[in-house]
Structure 1
């Protein structure tokens, strides 16, 4: 059954009078594994009204990104049944759907699935079947302190050169006063530091694999990209950057310690400092793939005893009505709604007035290019949509972090990454 039609008839009134029952006749109880990012944490407060009106008990397990991926993958692959709803993304959803690990999404007509941005719907589907509903979607872009660049006499343009990004970072870098020119991800993990490094490598003309799916980390393009990354972040980034990912950098930025940050567009919803401007991601001559594409989505593991209640909750939490609920919530407001999922969000006057980043965000999402090309024979921008990629990406990211910290040279890190990636792909049977 669907409850989206009757839920949220106003911002605080849902219009349900009967609770949703589990199979044993008691009120359903759902355990939900979420990433500990801002929009997901906000959902816990917004969903209190859902419990009040439906009787469905919601147990939240909020985990750091890397830990979430590890635990959810292990539990879902083995049918552990620990969670009724899980946060996954574009790397996992099509693969897990094809493997039967997660259930297809089926929504009522009121859900208006055609309002979902095509990039998000396609990225979470396998052979036309949607396996996860996007809670928020994102690309990546430059978020920079225009007050600082103006004072330093430098500019940052859309799709700027990496050399100009380096020059801007150098001009605003003032470590004696706790200000760092560039804050970028460095924490190991295929979806942490490696997400940024991969998009940078794409823009330098690199790819993870060649046409035969052999790793290409030993190419000049990868060397140029990682060398530039290590120089930029090692010279103009905060100390300990090899331990920083999204949440750590968001905190630094809001403390006034970052001049520029290239990361998920969704970060713009949570920036509290003044003087921020936005630009499309830089490139080194190959703009295709210079910005990533991602959605944190909600899925139901196959065989969940609370499948019906889980699907109903997901329909509500990813609906137009949910966006209205956040926008009208006294603790959040229109600048805090989850974005990047529905076209209609970008037509809401209150949201546009509260979100100076909206135009840049949509431009980034629209320009992301996840399709396979002659350059990269796989789907994905900051990842490769193959089952082996998380293992490959995690292993290589450890090597990149070692280079960033100074423990290894770039050449040694890439050589080690090439060796481990080759071993994984050979064992998986891609080639002999």
Structure 2
């Protein structure tokens, strides 16, 4: 079995054994949902409902407010209770629409397209935009934009990202085991839209059941192939996955389409299938609830806007020694100061609870120039040197060392013996570099 990979990266404890055997369970429809208008990269959606309006499941309640934006739909049948500022797992607070459930689960009717081969690509992209599909791997980039490359960019390959390289998360693994046919059909739709000759499904080798399921269904499909990639973090990052599978390198500042590739998460592929074939907007997703501070673990299918608190309770509740709760994975996820009334978003793949033993608060020590961060950086950067420039506010020098190429994966901080919060410095430096470059651009345009 040939296992593909990229240079650099780390292999932290996986933690997947806690939940990988837990089948997807559909949670009961919540009595109330909090649906933020910012659930995607780009401009927040603009609400098109008012307090007191009655809405059906799947009804559009907010529309894309720019090209880089996404429609948002009601995840339950109910009445709009409020529109205002509410807790947000990534932004702290953001505007949201609150809907209270009424009797039943009445869905709005959308046209279903089973024979998608008979529909032109532009129409399929229009449907994907209308039904609010965004990247489900966490990036939440509007999918319709990603599937609309400039006409001069030829796309050879579509890669489905089934790596799920973040520790503890297993919801993509379960989707690949339980929604195999739908995911493959979603890949076919994507390939048709971008006119790609070949499709790959990249899966880390620690997911043997998912590999077996998908290989079985792809056996008689000539232009779709499963690629087994090494279990290593951040194997699921776009550029690293492209390098491992195609040996093509995305240039610094470039995009996958610059090397003829489109990458989509397996959950996004499922959402595309459901949007086209079943007429279903993006109103629910798979979420892993796990971690050593949980009494039990689970993989749920939940309505968007359900709360972290409810998912934790339905999974068995927290132990007394809980120290930290994270939205997403432990490497790139965001720590939460509360779980009460914090809503599940389109991009929330996990809710993880950790004990003292798994949570470290080490004092930052001076860099010892060991080069561990250089050895493992998947983007071939020199993090130690960049951090020194940032600490001394030499942002232009950091820019020359291509700080903008940092994907903020956290591998460098993980291996640093001096416990330097390298990613935090990188974020500060990248923000300052953006400001400097924006100012330079303004001066040039004068």
Q: Where on the TM-score scale, by shorter chain, does this alignment land: which range?
A: under 0.3
Question: Bigger relative contact order, structure 1 or 2, given CA contacts below 8 A and separation 6+?
Answer: 1
Q: Provide TM-score, normalisation by structure 2.
A: 0.24
Task: Give 1 or 2: higher helix fraction.
Answer: 1
Task: Give 1 or 2: higher strand fraction.
Answer: 2
Q: Provide TM-score, normalisation by structure 1.
A: 0.24
